[in-house]
Structure 1
Amino acid sequence: GRDDKKIREVIGYAAQDVSVDEDLTGLENLVLSGRLYHLSHADATRRARELLDVAGLADVSAKRAGFYSGGMRRRLDLAQALMHRPRLLFLDEPTTGLDPQNRRAMWDELEKLNRDGTTIFLTTQYMEEADTLCERLAIIDHGTIVSEGSPAALKASLGGEVLTLTFPTDDPELLQGLIARGA
């Protein structure tokens, strides 16, 4: 209806499947996205460069996206969703396929957006991601919400069961790594 344009101006979305134009450069993809959201060319270029830096793509911004790795395309796709600084952001598995460093950079950008007033809805299978980024969680099983609340409340509701795993190894580095990751 008549409010569609207003709604699109405040919503950002990144699907689980990446949708970037592989014939355009990284910079061109973002500037185009910004222009579609009615940013001036100068503002779109400025914001694109800022997001390319956040996404770790500044050094390849002049290369066609078709030459990017899968993780690089994912970061470019997420940057597209952030171009117009949406007030409401929907992200489907936003950090799937990202290495830990780029995942952390994306978390930092999402936290900044949230502090600046953006409401973020995300789906994730990474519980540490949900715990870090979310004020409120809903656990969904086959389309039905089975539990919801703050991360602390949901963790507390899990009860006191402890699972003990035994690893047949004498390698102290392996054991220390498992302990550090909470395994």
Structure 2
Amino acid sequence: MSAAVIAAVDLTKKYGDTAAVDAISFEVAPGEAFGLLGPNGAGKSTTMRMVGAVSARTSGTLEVLGLDPDEGGPDIRAQLGVVPQQDNLDTDLRVRENLLVYGRYFGLSHAQVAKRADELLAFAQLEDRARAKVDDLSGGMKRRLTIARALINDPRILLLDEPTTGLDPQARHILWDRLYRLREQGTTLVLTTHYMDEAEQLCERLVVVDKGRIMAEGSPAALIREYSTREVLELRFGTDRSAEAARTLHDLGDRQEVLPDRLLVYAHDGEAALQEVQRRGLQPLTSLVRRSSLEDVFLRLTGRSLIE
């Protein structure tokens, strides 16, 4: 394997006495799609700012493309593409102009940036909106334009901070397709998300973070195999009845999680578990057998949901 493009050892960022990032260590290989999965406030965006050479670390070591961000910030930023959590497009410029002006910041010639802009508009499926005002774009279109702009300098690493927050399901799937194409082309992707399905779709490997610390690391499939069962039975009994039902079903499955609105029974055969629930005389209002997900991994590791 080639040398890591990002390597962090005991990386720490403190604000006063509060550790937003608490001694985390990880590596990202060239061409890898790597994710940081965790709830809001877990330290994901703070980590991304340190990797992006816009926030100095408190302690630990960090190398990005073989350089220390505290010393080689400009050289690192010249080789990065950054998609921030909130779109920061220039609304005074039209769609194509956003790409042209941004490309000039990287020293590209007029001919180079014009060619690159047209290629990226096609990639982002925005060719027919090239002369449109930014404010006239939908949320999904703005997000695709922000990603296209981040690719104008042909970056070695693309950093994406919560790339699909606020998008409807259709827009999310279109964006996932664009990012999957980048992954196939060998672009290194580093993304933060609190959407478990997004992490499973896009990431070859990820770390689960909570309160500034890494709780687990591996591929989505490996994490699910290690920390959960093959299937999960979701049972809804109505207000305040989940805990009572859990006492009756305490020995069912490998383990259980009592949530405010439902009871989760972790079992290798969800249908068999449901039959046993009914055999014991319980009649849930609704029941669902599904495969385990990264949400279940996070529940196992932290005792709470990703969206809490």
Q: Does 1:151 align with 2:227?
A: no
Aligned residues: CA RMSD: 3.0
Shift of 1:31: 1.2
- Unmatched segments (≥5 aa) in structure 1: 168-177
What TM-score comes out, normalization by structure 2 length? 0.50
Of all paired residues, the percent bearing the same amino acid is 49
Shift of 1:179: 8.4
**Partner-residue secondary structure (3-state), 1:164:** strand
Per-residue CA distance 1:38-89 (angstroms, 9 max, x = gap): 2222222222222223323222210221332333222211211111221111
**Partner-residue secondary structure (3-state), 1:91:** strand
The farther-off stretch of 158-167 and 148-157 is 158-167
Per-residue CA distance 1:137-167 (angstroms, 9 max, x = gap): 1111122111111111111123226233469
Find the aligned partners of 1:136 and 1:50 in 2 and give their Cα distance.
29
Match of 1:171 in 2: none
Match of 1:127 in 2: 196
Higher helix share: 1
Match of 1:162 in 2: 232
Match of 1:113 in 2: 182
The farther-off stretch of 41-50 and 141-150 is 41-50
Instruction: Please identify the structure whose Cα radius of gyration is greater.
Output: 2
Structure 1 counterpart of 2:90, from 11, 21, 27: 21
Structure 2 counterpart of 1:88, from 137, 148, 157: 157
Q: Does 1:75 align with 2:138?
A: no
- Unmatched segments (≥5 aa) in structure 2: 1-69, 238-287, 293-308
Q: Does 1:57 align with 2:122?
A: no
Higher strand share: 2
CA contact (8 A) 2:81 2:155 kept: yes
Match of 2:99 in 1: 30
Find the aligned partners of 1:42 and 1:179 in 2 and give their Cα distance.
56
Give the total of aligned pairs.
175
What TM-score comes out, normalization by structure 1 length? 0.80
